[in-house]
Structure 1
Amino acid sequence: MAKLETYRQENARYAPRKTLNALDQYVYHVPAVREAERDLREQEIEAAAAGKALSDRDKVLRPILAKVDEYKRMVPALEALVTMARNEYEDGVREELVPMGLKEARNAAQARDAWEKAYRAMELAKAELERHAGLFTWCVSAGDMDTHPRYGHSQGDNLECWELAKDGKLTWNASQALDYGEWLVKTPGLIEPNPAPSVTEEFNHNPKPKYYLAKAEGYGDNWDH
């Protein structure tokens, strides 16, 4: 394939091209032949003006026409080679389909076994997580609840949010994601305190704004100034 494309690129001027003539008709021409004929015509005009003999037309065009003929034969020959190589490759691939398919079937079976093993391990780990989270909830609720707050929740139990602070307590953010609300927490010291507790703002009575004028003449007593 690469040899064919290289030959076409290097000898493109010897390939026939289809173009429209002045009558909007499709005609074929070869760029190299057209260039040679144009150069030959200019040489003939110059020779006629100088009173010299005209160049041998056949001698000028013969090597170019030979390249055109070579192109016409070489391109189909290279295309045939490409087709043969492709067919040989496809035949070789077909011969390997059965052993390749059996190998991939074995690989898929091994991957399935590994997946099943990992899935079973995940289920066991998830059960352990739920068990320990339930025991933690029993402790933090002083025995009022023995499953984590979002157990069986339709939108997920959020146990992947379980995270501990440096002192071993459940982080505040994790407790909020896991729904450990104030109504549930009855044993202090197990959950990290809120790092940013809300601040109750005092109600301020804003005085009526006053207007400061340079002169107070002309205003009534009830006008602030």
Structure 2
Amino acid sequence: MTNHFEPPKDLPLSSKVKGLRKAYEDAVTKLETYRQENARYAPRRTLNALDQYVYHVPAVREVERDLREQEIEAAAAGKALPDREKVLRPILAKVDEYKRMVPALEALVTKARNEYEDGVKEDLVPMGRKEAKAAQQARDAWERAYKAMELAKADLERHAGLFTWCVSAGDMDTPPRTGHSQGDHLEYWELTEDGRLTYEASQELDYLEWVVKVPGLIEPNPAPPVTEEVNHNPKPQYHIAKAEGYGGNWDH
């Protein structure tokens, strides 16, 4: 398995493997938390004034800056300088701890991950059999649902055909779009509250004027087109030329 191996979330892991996964996740969290909480003790690479890469530890640089200020104050007051080794000792100890702890935690993460992956490998056969059984059950349910859908669709086509026979006064006995290359659109079938086929559905189903012979079964167009009135006495428009620009010999 690759370093990026991650089982699907829905995989039926055993309790043992779930425990191994939890141990791996805890190890990762412990490493990340330690790094975040102790970042100031980690070495960092920066550029100096000569554009050279140098390494420094933020915590050491900070305490040395504070120590320098204490030394200046002590010198100004005529007092003894602070003990440099005593001040730096706990910080350097934390720096040394960081250098050792991070590799140890990384090794813990690797060990926990390997144990988790090995546990998943051992469970592949029983998990695969569980999923095969679940797939069979889903397939059987799909077949039952498909057969029920086929029966329901046949009922829909039969009743829609009887409706068509009624609305066309016996001229047609199948929905208008039956056999259409783009489908019969029976999925658009929808009734109004009073039991009529909605106007929108009738348009999708092609219940056009030449099909509908019996009123009262289909909702009228709720927004019929507005018919413009014919003006039998139109006011004539006059386009009279003007003399400007034609000169003195213009004649109209």
Corresponding residue for 1:108?
135
Range with bigger deviation, 63-72 or 161-170: 161-170
Q: Once the two structures are superposed, what CA deviation does each residue of 1:170-221 show, in whole Å capped at 9, x if it has no partner?
A: 3443333222222223344443445555565542335579xxxxxxxxxxxx
1:21 aligned to 27, 35, 48, which one? 48
The change in CA–CA distance for 1:68 and 1:143 in structure 2 (over 3 A counts) is same
Corresponding residue for 1:162?
189
Partner-residue secondary structure (3-state), 1:126: helix
The change in CA–CA distance for 1:159 and 1:73 in structure 2 (over 3 A counts) is same
2:161 aligned to 134, 140, 160, which one? 134
Q: TM-score, normalised by structure 1?
A: 0.80
CA shift for structure 1 position 158: 1.6
The change in CA–CA distance for 1:60 and 1:124 in structure 2 (over 3 A counts) is same
Corresponding residue for 2:67?
40
Give yes or no for the alignment of 1:60 onto 2:114: no
Corresponding residue for 2:241?
none
The amino acid across from 1:139 in the alignment is C
Q: TM-score, normalised by structure 2?
A: 0.72
Give yes or no for the alignment of 1:182 onto 2:209: yes
Percent identity of equivalent pairs: 83
CA shift for structure 1 position 131: 1.8
Corresponding residue for 1:220?
none
Corresponding residue for 1:93?
120
C-alpha separation in 1, matches of 2:140 and 2:36: 54
C-alpha separation in 1, matches of 2:220 and 2:77: 109
1:7 aligned to 27, 31, 34, which one? 34
Mind listing any 5+ residue stretches in structure 2 that lack a counterpart? 1-27, 238-252
1:70 aligned to 79, 83, 97, which one? 97
CA shift for structure 1 position 124: 1.5
Mind listing any 5+ residue stretches in structure 1 that lack a counterpart? 210-225
C-alpha separation in 2, matches of 1:41 and 1:194: 90
The change in CA–CA distance for 1:196 and 1:49 in structure 2 (over 3 A counts) is closer
The change in CA–CA distance for 1:35 and 1:141 in structure 2 (over 3 A counts) is closer
The change in CA–CA distance for 1:140 and 1:14 in structure 2 (over 3 A counts) is closer
The change in CA–CA distance for 1:45 and 1:190 in structure 2 (over 3 A counts) is closer
Partner-residue secondary structure (3-state), 1:53: coil
C-alpha RMSD over aligned residues: 2.5
Give yes or no for the alignment of 1:31 onto 2:47: no
Partner-residue secondary structure (3-state), 2:230: coil
Partner-residue secondary structure (3-state), 1:28: strand
**Counterpart mapping for 1:183-222 below 5 A:** 183-195=210-222, 200-204=227-231, 205-207=233-235
C-alpha separation in 2, matches of 1:197 and 1:47: 98
